[in-house]
Structure 1
């Protein structure tokens, strides 16, 4: 699995998951429980992971919808 997105904004994660789901791209959200433990401070980012084979198309889908992604 490869990291597609890392953010402190839970709304970005939800939106990204919806976009990927619409394209039949499976994704997995990591660090959910860690960020819950820190409370509502929002300092620990969550990561959205996709399979290696889906990374290119997933990045294209998110970029086409206004996401600014880190270069890998």
Structure 2
């Protein structure tokens, strides 16, 4: 799995989730349970990971959806 987005914006994560589901790309959101440690303030970023072999396709989909600025290098 490769990290392609790191954000604490739940709207961006939700959009990315929806796009990956529609494309049939397996993904994982890491660090969601960290809110227990931070007190649910949303300060710690979550990592959006996709399958390594689908990373380029996922990046293309996210760019087309206007999320290019959110992508990790």
User: TM-score, normalising length from structure 2?
Assistant: 0.88
- Alignment RMSD: 1.3
Give the structure 2 partner of residue 63 of structure 1.
Answer: 63
Is there any run of 5+ residues in structure 2 with no aligned partner, and where? Answer: none
4+ residue runs of structure 1 moved beyond 6 angstroms?
Answer: none
- Greater share of helix: 2
User: TM-score, normalising length from structure 1?
Assistant: 0.89
Contact 1:35/1:46, CA 8 A, preserved across alignment = no
Is there any run of 5+ residues in structure 1 with no aligned partner, and where? Answer: none
Would the alpha carbon gap of residues 24 and 47 (structure 1) be closer, same or farther in structure 2, given more than 3 Å must change? same
Q: CA deviation at 1:41?
A: 1.9
Distance in structure 2 (CA, Å) of the matches to 1:65 and 1:22: 13
